[in-house]
Amino acid sequence: MKLVTKNKFNKIAPIAFLSCFFMNQPAIANEQGNVNNLVKSCTTCHGQKGISTNTNYPNLAGQKQGYLNKEITAFREGKRDNPQMTPYVKTLSDDDITVLAHYFSQQKNGTKASKTYNKKGENVRARCISCHGMTGITVTELWPNLAGQQAMYLQKQLHTFKSGERKSPIMQVIAQELTDKQIEAVAEYYSQQAASK
């Protein structure tokens, strides 16, 4: 009797194991397919790995996940607007946004620190360090890294904070105190810093 039970177990166990394995395969494939499909709608502008194809489009690689989540949601809800960007996120669900923010935050932004000393930008940087760090890597999930970001994009954001077109109680006040020359210098400065990821 004992022997029969053992034999049965030996036959069933591998079958049970294999069927579990096969049952999970489509689930994994679907998940990966879902990520790929979502990411595909972003890559014309932000690149397959989150390094953008145009200096006016932000790099998303290595950006803080919490910040990406917050900004994509802001575009979806019209709190932040851009005619190029907004149409692509209008129909995303919260789960889609979580998947996208996770994907792009995990990509590598390989920008290396510039060897040229950027004195002008460094002088302006004194006003930014407490939140964006010495080299543009922030300490909180909700504040954006600036290191290795596109210089033209950073400049544009500072101008839109200054004019009030992009809303942020903190950044609007800070940008209003900067001249166009200072904006240019500090954008250049942070774009030339090494990104951690």
Residues at the site binding ligand HEC, with contacts judged by CB under 6 A? 41-42, 44-46, 56-58, 60, 68, 71-72, 82, 84-85, 88-89, 100, 124, 127-128, 130-132, 143-144, 146, 154, 156-158, 168, 170-171, 174, 186
The smaller minimum CB distance to ligand HEC, of residues 6 and 102, is found at: 102
The smaller minimum CB distance to ligand HEC, of residues 14 and 169, is found at: 169
The smaller minimum CB distance to ligand HEC, of residues 58 and 62, is found at: 58
Task: Report, in Å, the least distance between residue 23 CB and ligand HEC.
Answer: 31
Going 117 to 123 to 124 to 127, the CA torsion angle's sign is positive
Task: Report, in Å, the least distance between residue 116 CB and ligand HEC.
Answer: 19
Written as six digits, the tokens of 54 are 């145009």
Task: Report, in Å, the least distance between residue 95 CB and ligand HEC.
Answer: 13
Please count the residues of the chain.
197
The smaller minimum CB distance to ligand HEC, of residues 7 and 53, is found at: 53
The smaller minimum CB distance to ligand HEC, of residues 24 and 114, is found at: 114
Task: Report, in Å, the least distance between residue 32 CB and ligand HEC.
Answer: 17
Q: Are 80 and 74 in contact (CB under 8 A)?
A: yes
Residue with the two structure tokens 């200054």: 162
Give the separation between CA 28 and CA 159, rounded to whole angstroms: 44
- Is 10 exposed, middle or buried (CB count within 10 Å of its CB: 0-12, 13-18, 19+)? exposed
Residue with the two structure tokens 């990966």: 32
- Is 55 exposed, middle or buried (CB count within 10 Å of its CB: 0-12, 13-18, 19+)? middle
Task: Report, in Å, the least distance between residue 126 CB and ligand HEC.
Answer: 8
The smaller minimum CB distance to ligand HEC, of residues 11 and 90, is found at: 90
Task: Report, in Å, the least distance between residue 115 CB and ligand HEC.
Answer: 22
- Within a 13 Å sphere around the CA of 40, how many CA atoms are in the beta-carbon half? 6
Give the separation between CA 91 and CA 38, rounded to whole angstroms: 11
